[in-house]
Homo-oligomer: A and B are copies of this chain.
């Protein structure tokens, strides 16, 4: 059973999601540092979604989706597949809504993400990334239990929920008398950056929005060049475990294709350096996938020319050993 909602979400859906999420998600702060301003040649604000409930933005889309289920759908519960952040988002959302959730996770996902997902009350089913398809495992469970599959990005409610990050950052800048000129958001399936694009298309239509991804896993750059979703070949790896979807989603790319100013790539060492920067100067914990946007700014992938830039730091769920290595070597 899959959720039937193939239409593209709109700005109105993002506004509606913000209503739905009121009292559920946190309004995460904008952080700043003189060194970032200097690196980018403008004013930089870090939208710290690592401080969001579950340690990433994913609770926004997950709750917006799960809170819309029908009475029948609530009874059979939901199934999701995720390497970790969507897993935690769905697990917490399910617990808040009061339904059962089964999460299909790769057996090599960060231990902290697996533990946290279980701690939110979800049932975790592990699969072998090398020999099994997560879609097939999830579909098997869904069929068996009559449960609904909650997609990690290619769903209008999920995209609209993630888009509330865009609404918030515009509102927070407004309180400072500012408007965004450039916004950077990490892209795996592209749901976050698509949602932000919907919000900014209406509220800050002149802002340029970039997807940021691992340089060796550049399906967004390839897809934007091709004009259609392209799957990365050969399968490449990166320690940005949250950003390894093999291709953009169909719905997300239909939005991103027309709205993004481009896609920027960063290397794993650059990401480690950004994690170390956040440790040393911002005092927030970023996971690899949550630090790609900061890396793009620190490495000058995009200049601000005196303008205002917002980098979304999308998550902070990282195992201690990976983090320790990053902050000790990445400086």
Q: Does A236 sit at the interface, judged by CB under 8 A?
A: no
A74-82, A138-146, A260-268, A322-330 - the one binding chain B = A322-330
Q: Which of A188-240 contact B (CB under 8 A)?
A: none
Which listed residue, B276, B281, B284, B324, touches A327 by the CB 8 Å rule?
B324
Chain B residues, CB < 8 A from A280: 112, 320
Q: Does A182 sit at the interface, judged by CB under 8 A?
A: no
With contacts A55-B283, A112-B280, A284-B284 known, what are 7 further pairs, Cβ within 8 A? A29-B51, A51-B283, A283-B284, A284-B285, A320-B324, A321-B328, A324-B327
Contact B327 A331 (CB under 8 A): no
Chain B residues, CB < 8 A from A276: 320
> Min CB distance, A234 to chain B, in Å?
34
Mostly helix, strand, loop or mixed at chain A's interface? helix
A98 to B50, CA, bound (A): 35
Contact B316 A320 (CB under 8 A): no
Chain A interfacial positions (CB closer than 8 Å to B):
29, 31, 50-51, 55, 112, 276, 279-285, 316, 320-321, 323-324, 327-328, 331
Contact A316 B283 (CB under 8 A): yes
Residue ID in chain B nearest A315 by CB atoms: B283
A1 to B106, CA, bound (A): 65
A51 to B50, CA, bound (A): 13
> Min CB distance, A219 to chain B, in Å?
28
Chain B residues, CB < 8 A from A112: 280
Chain B residues, CB < 8 A from A331: 320
Contact A327 B316 (CB under 8 A): no
- Give me 27 A-to-B residue pairs in the complex whose CB atoms sit less than 8 angstroms apart, sorted by A's number: A29-B51, A31-B51, A50-B283, A51-B282, A51-B284, A55-B281, A55-B283, A112-B280, A276-B320, A279-B285, A279-B320, A279-B323, A283-B284, A283-B285, A283-B316, A284-B284, A284-B285, A285-B285, A320-B324, A320-B327, A320-B328, A320-B331, A321-B328, A323-B324, A323-B327, A324-B324, A324-B328
Chain B residues, CB < 8 A from A281: 55
Chain B residues, CB < 8 A from A29: 29, 51
A281 to B285, CA, bound (A): 10
- Most B CB within 10 A of own CB, among A276, A327, A328: A327
